[in-house]
Amino acid sequence: MILRLYRTDGQCSESLAPPATMYDLSGYARSQNLNPQNIQSLNPQNIKSLNPQNIQNPNPQNIQSLNPQNIQNLNPQNIQSLNPQNIQNLNPQNIQSLNPQNIQNLNPQNIQNLNPQNIQSLNPQNIQSLNPQNIQNLNPQNIQNLNPQNIQSLNPQNIQSLNPQNIQNLNPQNIQSLNPQNIQNLNPQNIQSLNPQNIQNLNPQNIQSLNPQNIQNLNPQNIQSPNPQNIKSPNPQNIQNPNPQNIQNLNPQNIKSPNPQNIQNPNPQNIQSPNPQNIQNLNPQNIQSPNPQNIQNLNPQNIQSPNPQNIQNLNPQNIKSLNPQNIQSLNPQNIQNLNPQNIQSLNPQNIQNPNPQNIQNPNPQNIQNPNPQNIQSLNPQNIQNLNPQNIQNPNPQNIQNPNPQNIQNPNPQNIQNPNPQNIKSLNPQNIQSLNPQNIQNLNPQNIKSLNPQNIQSLNPQNIQNLNPQNIQNLNPQNIQSPNPQNIQSPNPQNIQNLNPQNIQNLNPQVVCVFQT
């Protein structure tokens, strides 16, 4: 016996057909006859199955009626088959919904067909996905239309692909919005092509990021820039530029004498003196200098000062100001010397220190630190190093770590943790990352405790892995999952295992999918 569903007189109805061997699902609606609102109701995979000529249907509003996520489901070649004027018909938010690789598939002339405001509506990562030659295809005025933050999102090699005259087309504030590393990527001739006033517009940290040879490319009058802090660039090699006359252009107070007492002067760059013994000459209270940036200026070997108590003398905020590589240079025993609150003050990347034994610090409460992002920053192998009771830490949000491979811990019993609410706290994508056999390891009541959207996130094959009785354990609203392919599980017996009242719980639009 099969169930045949069809539409008559604009109504959805059902009838039982005579016995047969398979379902009759051949009556899909023709896509060319769809109304604009029907375009929106198509499943994402149906959008992909449209012929290229169908996407070029003459109604421009149909393109606009597509949902943003449907735009993402278009095949790369379909985006190229759009008429140039259709690109302009897209809403600004649709431009944002394009996949990065689709942006690359646009023809060079289509880039120029974009309206100026559409350039601004591009996501930062989309700007990064543009091919270098596409950057050169932009009109000079379009460069000025970019938002300051978009300038920052350009890849370093893209900044190099700009024509020299485009650099001059940038507004002065855009020069300031360039990332420090982008300044380093400028060709030497581009530095010279900057207007004199643009040199003054550079942020102090941008002066620091200039390559040593770029310092030599500066005009003599630029080295005498009116901002005294610009000449005080902390990079030692910059001050040692080989032109003797530039040294003479410096103000006398900018030259720092090499006396040991100057090491305690308030300039952060002075604390970077090359003599390791000078750091040992400092008093313990000096190591707790109030400027957090001073602790960052220490060389890695200096942080390994032989006195363990000095590490403990650091203020909590100083621990946070340590560079990531400095935290790795700490001796293992120093990690254990940290106070519990200092563990919380570590940056997320610092918790990823490479020593496995450090993550197994003896204090169980340290691993249960309240910052959820710290748990997320653990390496996958560190998750395995945790004790079983730590994986059951009482914070439900900790189990929601975003790394799918972390949830796939090899112990099946861990996934069967006794707290049903922990299962509910899993992110939808984590449900998808479970192994098929883990789905079967769930208790029947856990299946019922899944949120409706979690049922939707199950892979089609996972639906098949459910035991027949689990199908009946689903709540009525779960059977109403909007993904048609989930209800269309290829096992005919699963459909037949549904209770009669569950068939009636199906949404009308789901029924209409099977029209003949």
Highest mean pLDDT: which range of 258-262, 360-364, 484-488 = 484-488
Claim to verify: residue 67 and residue 15 sit in the same structural domain: no
Claim to verify: residue 471 and residue 501 sit in the same structural domain: yes
pLDDT at 272 (0 to 100): 39
When comparing pLDDT for 310 and 391, which is higher? 310
pLDDT at 68 (0 to 100): 77
Q: Which of 94, 109, 134 is the last residue of a domain?
A: 134
Q: What percent of the chain has pLDDT over 70?
A: 30
**85 has pLDDT over 70:** yes
Claim to verify: residue 109 and residue 62 sit in the same structural domain: yes
Structure tokens at 125: 């990562």
**30 has pLDDT over 70:** no
Q: What are phi and psi of 400, to 5 degrees?
A: -85, 35
pLDDT at 148 (0 to 100): 76
Mean pLDDT confidence for 27-36: 46
437-463: pLDDT as tens digits: 666 666 666 666 666 666 666 666 666
353-385: pLDDT as tens digits: 444 444 444 343 444 444 444 444 454 444 444
347 CA to centre of own chain: 17
CA distance 349 to 366: 16
Structure tokens at 424: 């509910």
pLDDT at 459 (0 to 100): 65
Q: Is 211 helix (H, G, I), strand (E, B) or coil?
A: coil
Claim to verify: residue 80 and residue 116 sit in the same structural domain: yes
Claim to verify: residue 514 and residue 476 sit in the same structural domain: yes
* pLDDT band at residue 185 using 50, 70 and 90 as cut-offs: confident
pTM for the structure as a whole: 0.37
Claim to verify: residue 67 and residue 119 sit in the same structural domain: yes
Mean pLDDT confidence for 297-321: 55
Q: What is the mean pLDDT of the chain?
A: 58
When comparing pLDDT for 235 and 107, which is higher? 107
The answer to whether position 181 is within a domain reads: no
When comparing pLDDT for 173 and 267, which is higher? 173
> Which residue reads 């760059």 in tokens?
269
Those residues whose C-beta lies under 8 Å from the C-beta of residue 504, and which sit 6 or more positions away, are none
Mean pLDDT confidence for 283-312: 50
DSSP state of 148: H
Mean pLDDT confidence for 221-244: 44
Claim to verify: residue 6 and residue 81 sit in the same structural domain: no
The answer to whether position 371 is within a domain reads: no
Q: Is 268 helix (H, G, I), strand (E, B) or coil?
A: helix
CA distance 208 to 251: 18
Q: Which of 134, 162, 187 is the last residue of a domain?
A: 134
pLDDT at 182 (0 to 100): 78
**411 has pLDDT over 70:** no
Claim to verify: residue 94 and residue 42 sit in the same structural domain: yes
pLDDT at 311 (0 to 100): 56
**307 has pLDDT over 70:** no
The answer to whether position 155 is within a domain reads: no
Claim to verify: residue 41 and residue 127 sit in the same structural domain: yes
* pLDDT band at residue 69 using 50, 70 and 90 as cut-offs: confident
332: number of Cβ within 10 Å: 11
Q: What is the distance between the terminal CA atoms of the chain, rounded to a whole angstrom?
A: 17
The answer to whether position 111 is within a domain reads: yes
CA distance 344 to 346: 5
Q: What are phi and psi of 7, to 5 degrees?
A: -110, 130
**414 has pLDDT over 60:** no
Highest mean pLDDT: which range of 42-46, 119-123, 219-223, 371-375 = 119-123
Claim to verify: residue 508 and residue 472 sit in the same structural domain: yes
Claim to verify: residue 129 and residue 54 sit in the same structural domain: yes
pLDDT at 510 (0 to 100): 40
Concatenating the DSSP letter of every residue in 312-350 gives: HHS-HHHHHHS-HHHHHTS-HHHHHHS-HHHHHHS-GGG
Q: What share of the chain is helix, strand, coil (3-state, %, to 5)?
A: 60, 0, 35
Instruction: Give Cα separations from 259 to 129, 278, 489 (angstroms).
Output: 52, 11, 80
Q: In which domain, by residue range, is 480 found?
A: 1-23+458-516
| Range in 143-147, 172-176, 183-187, 425-429 with the lowest mean pLDDT | 425-429
Claim to verify: residue 69 and residue 126 sit in the same structural domain: yes
Alpha helices by DSSP H, listed for 361-467, are 364-367, 372-376, 380-385, 388-391, 404-407, 412-415, 420-424, 428-432, 436-441, 444-449, 452-456, 460-465
The answer to whether position 277 is within a domain reads: no
Closest by alpha carbon to 469, among 435, 445, 486, 503?
445
**152 has pLDDT over 50:** yes
The answer to whether position 223 is within a domain reads: no
Q: Which of 134, 165, 182 is the last residue of a domain?
A: 134
262-286: pLDDT as tens digits: 333 333 333 433 344 444 444 444 4
The answer to whether position 273 is within a domain reads: no
pLDDT at 502 (0 to 100): 65
The answer to whether position 119 is within a domain reads: yes
Q: Do the Cβ atoms of 415 and 389 come closer than 8 Å?
A: no
Mean pLDDT confidence for 150-177: 77
Highest mean pLDDT: which range of 127-136, 276-285, 350-359, 504-513 = 127-136
Count: domains in the chain:
2
